[in-house]
């Protein structure tokens, strides 16, 4: 045989790779089994009304559009607020610092569910009536903004002080330093956690359904489920759509993360 | 001759710590001045006071006719500091290249953002300076792909592209592996030869001896020596200078 003898290091590496592959295969097999088990349970032991699903899955699926819309608008608002709150937290002007910490404390100290109802149900009492979608976006945006401000703060803190000094030494103003040097680096640091926040936002947007004004997935599922006494089927369909959305978003997130990891840090 | 940098009666406190004591130094145009001293002697602080990375507590800094009183406040003061920074280029021990910009991006950043220079003109200047530090072929790389010596040469090109009157170097080779120090010192020699006024905080005695016109020695925040390198190395006036030079001779830092 003309095959070249493998070195010890290569053999060790091969053995390690075999272990990794084996682990991955076993994980996939277990996943598929669990999924198969779920399908089995709902097709035999637990009777579900498949005709109901056939009649209504499109109606529920249409909610994906609103779920996505509300999540997207909310995350945009949240990023804006989080950025302002994080910058405010770095300010050495007492009122700015206070506004930022007050906002974060108030929002993090109360339930999201309460905040959503506040904008739908409490504000109209004061004569402020917001369209359903807008109220939902404001509530979710305010809430996530408060949490994300911590991510941004960590991102800003991750940029070394040498970067600021180099920018200042070139003659940049503090605004230019922030815009050109600090923020781009901080944002890069904050993008992966922001992806996580967006994914959890798509699911938390279901809470908005409780008010009955935004016709996203959860609202549609509970509506048809209650009307026809088929809550089980309706919720299963909704769960499948949420899960699929999450899987797709997670896929894109991991792509972005590998690109960032490869990037030019 | 009018000095291009004039430091007069400079004092600097960090809290109650008196790190610079009544320092006065003049630097003439095209002069290369090395600043040496033990760590903690205040040499980096003195350098950083010149472009106001540290605000002096008292005293005046004058760079190319722009005179700034230390310890003042207000808009006028900030404008003067800005003018001084435009006249000084700075090279840091840790390079501090911008990691999210390419090499070329780093070098044109100052001219384009600070001076509002036309991009193409900035690129032309940047390429000339990158060529002069021998790194034009790396212009599209990102800093994380460069060695320490290459990073520092890019940092020098970045500072030069602002077309400063004075270059300040803060221990430019202290963060480098020994085999990479030479390439940076060579670039600095070249910059010196082209007539740039330079103030260099360094531990490289060979460089000080060979390139400097004058060597300043700081100890405990005081300027204890200001001499031509040959005089300084041959017959130091202050025993602390002698101790410092001896330590370098024996290779101990």
Contacts of B90 in chain A (CB under 8 A): 166, 169
Q: What pLDDT was estimated at residue A192?
A: 84
The pLDDT confidence band at residue A1, using thresholds 50, 70 and 90, is: very low
Q: What pLDDT was estimated at residue A211?
A: 79
Q: CB contacts < 8 Å between A and B, how many?
A: 62
For chain B, say whether A14 makes contact (Cβ under 8 Å).
Answer: no
The pLDDT confidence band at residue A107, using thresholds 50, 70 and 90, is: very high
Mean pLDDT of chain A: 87
Distance from CA of B144 to the nearest CA of A (A): 6
Check pLDDT > 60 for residue B251. no
Check pLDDT > 80 for residue A261. no
Q: Hey, what are B163's tokens?
A: 């077309």
Mean pLDDT of chain B: 93
Contacts of B45 (CB under 8 A, 6+ apart): B12, B19, B20, B54
* Mean pLDDT, range B126-137, rounded to an integer: 96
| Coil, strand or helix at B163 | coil
Contacts of B159 in chain A (CB under 8 A): 169-170
CB contact under 8 A, A176 and B82: no
Distance from CA of A265 to the nearest CA of B (A): 5
ipTM over 0.85: yes
Check pLDDT > 80 for residue A263. no
Phi, psi of A127 (to 5 degrees): 85, 5
Q: What pLDDT was estimated at residue B252?
A: 47
Do the Cβ atoms of A189 and A258 come closer than 8 Å? no
Least confident of A16-20, A186-190, B216-220: A186-190
Nearest to B96 among A165, A172, A264 (CB): A165
* Mean pLDDT, range A222-246, rounded to an integer: 87
Contacts of B113 in chain A (CB under 8 A): 170, 172, 176, 180
CB contact under 8 A, B114 and A168: no
Interface of B with A in 197-236 (CB under 8 A): none
For chain B, say whether A163 makes contact (Cβ under 8 Å).
Answer: yes
Q: Does residue A191 or residue B186 have the better pLDDT?
A: B186
Q: Sheet containing B17-27: which strands, arranged edge to edge?
A: B17-27, B5-14, B58-63, B66-69
Q: What pLDDT was estimated at residue A50?
A: 78
* Mean pLDDT, range B93-115, rounded to an integer: 95
* Mean pLDDT, range B109-128, rounded to an integer: 96
Q: What pLDDT was estimated at residue A262?
A: 59
Distance from CA of A72 to the nearest CA of B (A): 27
How far apart CA B209 and CA B233 sit, in angstroms, is 8
Q: pLDDT tens, B11-61?
A: 999 989 999 999 999 999 999 999 999 888 999 999 999 999 999 999 999
Nearest to B144 among A167, A181, A265 (CB): A265
Percent of the residues in chain A that have a pLDDT greater than 90, as a whole number:
41
Contacts of B82 in chain A (CB under 8 A): 171, 173
CB contact under 8 A, A172 and B113: yes
Chain A residue with Cα closest to B155: A166
- Mutation for testing the A interface, residue in B96, B111, B156 having most A CBs under 10 Å: B96
Q: Sheet containing B166-170: which strands, arranged edge to edge?
A: B88-91, B166-170, B197-201, B32-36, B214-219, B222-227
The pLDDT confidence band at residue B138, using thresholds 50, 70 and 90, is: very high
């Amino acid at each position: 045989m003309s095959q070249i003898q493998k070195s010890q290091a290569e053999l060790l590496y091969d053995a390690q790779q075999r272990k990794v592959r084996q682990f991955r295969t076993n994980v996939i097999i277990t996943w598929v089994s669990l999924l198969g088990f779920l399908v089995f349970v709902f097709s035999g032991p637990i009777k579900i009304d498949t005709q109901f699903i056939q009649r209504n899955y499109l109606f529920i699926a249409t909610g994906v559009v609103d779920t996505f819309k509300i999540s997207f608008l909310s995350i945009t608002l949240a990023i804006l607020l989080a950025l302002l709150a994080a910058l405010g937290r770095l300010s050495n002007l007492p009122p700015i610092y206070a506004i930022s910490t007050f906002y974060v404390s108030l929002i993090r100290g109360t339930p999201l569910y309460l905040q959503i109802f506040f904008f739908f149900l409490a504000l109209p009492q004061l004569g402020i009536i917001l369209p359903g979608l807008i109220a939902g976006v404001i509530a979710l945006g305010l809430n996530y903004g408060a949490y994300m401000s911590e991510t941004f703060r960590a991102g800003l803190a991750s940029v070394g002080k040498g970067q600021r000094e180099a920018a200042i030494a070139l003659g940049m103003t503090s605004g230019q330093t922030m815009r050109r040097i600090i923020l781009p680096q901080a944002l890069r640091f904050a993008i992966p956690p922001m992806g996580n926040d967006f994914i959890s936002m798509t699911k938390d947007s279901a809470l908005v359904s409780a008010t009955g004004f935004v016709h996203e997935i959860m609202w549609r599922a509970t509506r048809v489920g209650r009307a026809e006494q088929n809550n089980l089927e309706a919720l299963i369909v909704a769960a499948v759509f949420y899960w699929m959305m999450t899987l797709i978003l997670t896929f894109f997130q991991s792509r972005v993360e590998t690109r960032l990891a490869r990037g030019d840090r | 001759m009018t000095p291009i940098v004039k430091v007069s009666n400079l004092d600097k406190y960090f809290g109650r710590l008196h790190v610079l004591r009544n320092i006065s130094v003049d630097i003439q145009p095209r002069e290369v001045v090395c600043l040496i001293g033990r760590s903690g002697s205040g040499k980096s602080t003195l350098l950083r006071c010149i472009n106001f990375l540290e605000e002096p507590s008292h005293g005046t800094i004058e760079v190319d006719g722009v005179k700034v009183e230390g310890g003042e406040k207000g808009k006028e003061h900030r404008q003067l500091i800005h003018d001084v920074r435009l006249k000084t280029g700075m090279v840091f021990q840790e390079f501090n290249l911008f990691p999210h910009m390419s090499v070329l991006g780093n070098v044109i950043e100052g001219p384009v953002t600070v001076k509002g220079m036309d991009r193409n003109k900035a690129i032309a200047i940047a390429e000339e300076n990158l060529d002069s530090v021998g790194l034009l072929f790396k212009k599209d790389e990102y800093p994380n792909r460069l060695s320490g010596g290459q990073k520092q040469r890019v940092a020098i090109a970045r500072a030069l592209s602002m077309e400063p009157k004075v270059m300040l170097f803060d221990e430019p080779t202290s963060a480098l592996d020994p085999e990479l120090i030479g390439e940076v010192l060579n670039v600095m020699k070249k910059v010196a030869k082209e007539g740039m006024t330079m103030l260099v905080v360094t531990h490289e005695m060979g460089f000080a001896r060979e390139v400097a016109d004058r060597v300043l020695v700081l100890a405990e925040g005081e300027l204890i020596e200001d001499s031509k390198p040959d005089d300084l190395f041959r017959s130091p006036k202050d025993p602390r200078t002698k101790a410092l030079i001896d330590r370098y001779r024996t290779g101990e830092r």
